[in-house]
């Protein structure tokens, strides 16, 4: 089979690494990919939202399946574009259509969906510019802390946790009346703050059947001890010790089954991944958010634990027979340490030469924001590399991933040395 992966980050590197190991994989293309994805396939110089360009490429390269990494092309309707095109409609796309992608693309849509299908989530109300006054009154009764979420995609920045009423009211005014996050905050979800510990649960579905992939914990803050600014993710670990069998059974019964059944009841087709951001509150799962794609850097910890042929699973999604496919998961622990640019998540250094990857011993070096200057591998993004180790013991995995990260160098190099150690 010839497969095209859309995307260029660590997540897509992990997909490419895994897919390239399948005996079913003939040609693998990654658009646009990065300096590391070239080890697994051929990079294609195409933007993930250039649907016309993707069409030309898919047809001229005899692509049999398209795997979509990031949310943007899904929310913009890449899957619908394929289905509406005579020449493309027979080529399966893994990643939901536009309507289902609203589970990530609109917080209000996802909250309404959860409420309708009795999926545990924080109490909420949605406000617009026209109902700003009601919003300010609601905040006064809502209890603190309170969470404000821009309805639309805001590059991971649209969620504010407010500790005082004054702050919450001011932010609501800025979001609704002053378009703090542009169009994304023309609607704002105000929700109750959930106390607990977070984890990411991943489901693969063909719209009827589902498989639960390994869960993971992601570390979002830039600083050790979970301090400082939010980032796209500084590391991840899978499995998550507190997500034991009893907890995961609750997740399946109270969240996953109602989600899949809810999509069916609402006649929303879904072929792809559902990423469920959960809060574990005293052993009970509460949904914080849905994403219509896999997580990054969670995918870098999830893929190495999947022992089965990943192309078979993708085909199961595409063909609607996921129930007939095997999913074997390694009991080992995967730990991922993300190496970022100096200054990230603020203004950060770019085009720095990366050295030392050849000294890495036990880990897989997944590239994220990398490119080449013709001769050297250089940094091009905030998150540069994701270093993943799979080991029998969690402690060894955490230690090894950290040790291997320190064998790599670039000007301004930074990574967290505490990823996962809180879970031991």
Interaction site with ligand GLY (CB under 6 A): 218, 233, 291, 295-296, 298
Identify any residues that bridge with 370 across adjacent strands, giving them in sequence order.
379
Nearer to ligand GLY, 3 or 234 (CB): 234
Nearer to ligand GLY, 33 or 232 (CB): 232
Element (H, E) at 4: strand 2-7
**Which structure tokens are listed for 279?**
């809060």
The residue assigned the tokens 């092309």 is: 73
The residue assigned the tokens 């999509």 is: 263
For the CB of residue 406, give the shortest distance to ligand AMP in the complex, in Å. 28
Is the peptide bond prior to 239 cis by the omega test (within 30 degrees of 0)? Answer: yes
For the CB of residue 7, give the shortest distance to ligand GLY in the complex, in Å. 12
Q: Which does 357 bind (CB under 5 to 8 A by kind): ligand AMP, ligand GLY, none?
A: none
Q: Which does 298 bind (CB under 5 to 8 A by kind): ligand AMP, ligand GLY, none?
A: ligand GLY
**Which structure tokens are listed for 402?**
């950290």
> Does 191 sit near ligand AMP (CB under 6 A)?
yes
Q: Which does 215 bind (CB under 5 to 8 A by kind): ligand AMP, ligand GLY, none?
A: none
Element (H, E) at 58: helix 51-60
> Does 277 sit near ligand AMP (CB under 6 A)?
yes
Distance CA 89, CA 86 (A): 6
Q: Which does 187 bind (CB under 5 to 8 A by kind): ligand AMP, ligand GLY, none?
A: none
Nearer to ligand GLY, 291 or 389 (CB): 291
> Does 401 sit near ligand AMP (CB under 6 A)?
no
Nearer to ligand AMP, 132 or 159 (CB): 159
Q: Which does 229 bind (CB under 5 to 8 A by kind): ligand GLY, ligand AMP, none?
A: none
The residue assigned the tokens 């979001």 is: 175
Nearer to ligand GLY, 143 or 156 (CB): 156
> Does 197 sit near ligand AMP (CB under 6 A)?
no
Nearby residues of 136 by Cβ (< 8 Å), 6 or more positions away = 169, 172, 173
Residue 168: which of 123, 137, 199 has the closest Cα? 137
Element (H, E) at 314: helix 310-319
For the CB of residue 156, give the shortest distance to ligand GLY in the complex, in Å. 7
Of the listed pieces 82-90, 168-176, 190-198, 234-242, which binds ligand AMP according to CB under 6 A?
A: 190-198
Q: Is 350 exposed, middle or buried (0-12, 13-18, 19+ CB in 10 A)?
A: middle
> Does 159 sit near ligand AMP (CB under 6 A)?
yes
Q: Is 344 exposed, middle or buried (0-12, 13-18, 19+ CB in 10 A)?
A: buried
* Residue 236 CA: distances (Å) to CA of 337, 387, 398: 7, 10, 10
Please state at what angle helix 310-319 crosses helix 10-19, rounded to 10 degrees: 100
Nearby residues of 40 by Cβ (< 8 Å), 6 or more positions away = 13, 16, 17, 19, 20, 28, 30
Q: How many CB atoms lie within 10 A of CB 14?
A: 28
Distance CA 109, CA 101 (A): 10
> Which residue in 72, 289, 296, 298 binds ligand AMP (CB under 6 A)?
289
For the CB of residue 105, give the shortest distance to ligand AMP in the complex, in Å. 12
> Does 190 sit near ligand AMP (CB under 6 A)?
no
> Does 221 sit near ligand AMP (CB under 6 A)?
no
Q: Which does 159 bind (CB under 5 to 8 A by kind): ligand AMP, ligand GLY, none?
A: ligand AMP
For the CB of residue 11, give the shortest distance to ligand GLY in the complex, in Å. 7
Distance CA 338, CA 137 (A): 42
Q: Which residue number places its CB atom closest to ligand GLY?
A: 295
> Which residue in 3, 91, 122, 315 binds ligand AMP (CB under 6 A)?
122
* DSSP state string for 366-383: EESSEEESSSSEEE-SSE
Nearer to ligand GLY, 296 or 404 (CB): 296
Q: Which does 303 bind (CB under 5 to 8 A by kind): ligand AMP, ligand GLY, none?
A: none
Nearer to ligand AMP, 103 or 122 (CB): 122
Contact residues for ligand AMP (CB under 6 A)? Answer: 122, 147, 159, 161, 191, 193-194, 198, 277, 288-289
């Amino acid at each position: 089979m010839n497969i095209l992966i859309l995307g260029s980050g660590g997540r897509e590197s992990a997909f490419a690494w895994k897919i390239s190991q399948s005996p079913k994989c003939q040609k693998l293309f990654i658009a646009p990919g990065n300096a590391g994805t070239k080890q697994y396939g051929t990079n294609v110089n195409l933007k993930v939202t250039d649907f016309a360009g993707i069409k030309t490429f898919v047809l001229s390269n005899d692509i049999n399946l398209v795997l979509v990494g990031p949310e943007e092309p899904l929310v913009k309707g890449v899957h619908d574009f394929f289905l509406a095109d005579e020449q493309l409609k027979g080529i399966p796309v893994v990643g939901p259509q536009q309507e289902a992608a609203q589970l990530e693309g609109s917080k209000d849509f996802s909250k309404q969906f959860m409420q309708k299908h009795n999926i545990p989530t924080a109490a909420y109300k949605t406000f617009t510019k026209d109902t700003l006054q009601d919003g300010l009154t609601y905040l006064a009764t809502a209890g603190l802390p309170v969470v404000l979420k821009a309805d639309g995609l805001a590059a991971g920045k649209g969620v504010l946790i407010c500790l005082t009423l004054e702050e919450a009211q001011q932010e609501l005014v800025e979001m609704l009346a002053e378009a703090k996050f542009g169009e994304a905050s023309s609607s704002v979800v105000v929700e109750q703050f959930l106390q607990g510990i977070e984890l990411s649960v991943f489901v693969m579905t063909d719209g009827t059947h589902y498989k639960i992939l390994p869960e993971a914990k992601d570390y979002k803050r830039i600083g050790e001890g979970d301090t400082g600014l939010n980032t796209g993710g500084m590391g991840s670990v899978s499995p998550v010790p507190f997500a034991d069998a009893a907890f995961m059974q609750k997740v399946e019964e109270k969240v996953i089954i109602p989600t899949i059944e809810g999509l069916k009841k609402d006649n929303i087709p879904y072929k792809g991944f559902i990423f469920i951001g959960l809060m574990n509150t005293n052993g009970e799962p509460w949904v914080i958010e849905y994403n219509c794609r896999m997580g990054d850097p969670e995918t870098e910890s999830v893929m190495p634990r999947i022992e089965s042929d990943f192309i078979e699973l993708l085909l199961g999604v595409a063909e609607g027979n996921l129930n007939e496919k095997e999913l074997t998961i390694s009991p080992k622990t995967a730990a991922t340490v993300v190496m970022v640019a100096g200054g990230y998540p603020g203004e950060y250094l770019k085009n720095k030469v990366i050295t030392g990857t050849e000294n890495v011993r036990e880990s897989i070096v997944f590239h994220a924001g990398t490119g080449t200057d013709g001769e050297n591998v250089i940094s091009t993004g905030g998150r540069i590399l994701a270093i993943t180790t799979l080991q029998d013991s969690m402690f060894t995995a955490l230690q090894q991933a950290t040790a291997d990260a320190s064998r790599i160098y670039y000007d301004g190099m930074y990574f967290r040395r505490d990823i996962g150690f809180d879970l031991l």
